[in-house]
Structure 1
């Protein structure tokens, strides 16, 4: 393997979602976006709901997009391992389902506000963030 290559693995409770060699991976951590290349110092970071962008070795002009809903990332020995609550590759996202989830979450937010139910409001806001993340990843919109 070349010196400028790292392995990117994304795993969820349902199993392996992504496994490729890359020159660059960008993740959304709780402190901001983090770009990782081969030979990066070891690091562990918690992830936000957001996209993971991977520049693959076999297709350098293209970035794979993966919608990730929380979890953490560990970089060590030229392997970037992401353990996520859930993750979905852009090509696998059903846009119609994601839009329906966004609308359901927006309705739930309005209902929770009307009832002044803070717990339900918080859950609905997270559901909305996840739906918007999936929509943005499917449509190729970064960091929206």
Structure 2
């Protein structure tokens, strides 16, 4: 079963991006991509990420989902700045089992819930992380 099929794709993508109370995963990911760009310099850039994530606000059944994905793009050197452009692909995976099933009756088999989405990414960051709004704020 997919997030699109059950009507939770948009809400899950928005929850992931903005709704977790700590500026959203997109902000943390932007900081991590900026740090990776500073470390690698101009040229091609890729960055993989993933972690358990609570989508409880979308539906109680998504409280232990895993979100993983990757950024693929490039970095242009612009003097004191770096311009980063590319695309982030995000994959959602979870498993749902009826919480009222106590294992006595048949039919309480867990089933997977999956989804994926992409987002364009573009940022201009200073090479000096100490002078930038984009800096490491922790992992995914």
Query: Which interval holds the TM-score relative to the shorter structure?
Result: under 0.3
TM-score computed with the length of structure 2 as normaliser: 0.26
* Greater fraction of residues in helix: 1
Give the greater-gyration-radius structure (CA).
Answer: 2
TM-score computed with the length of structure 1 as normaliser: 0.25
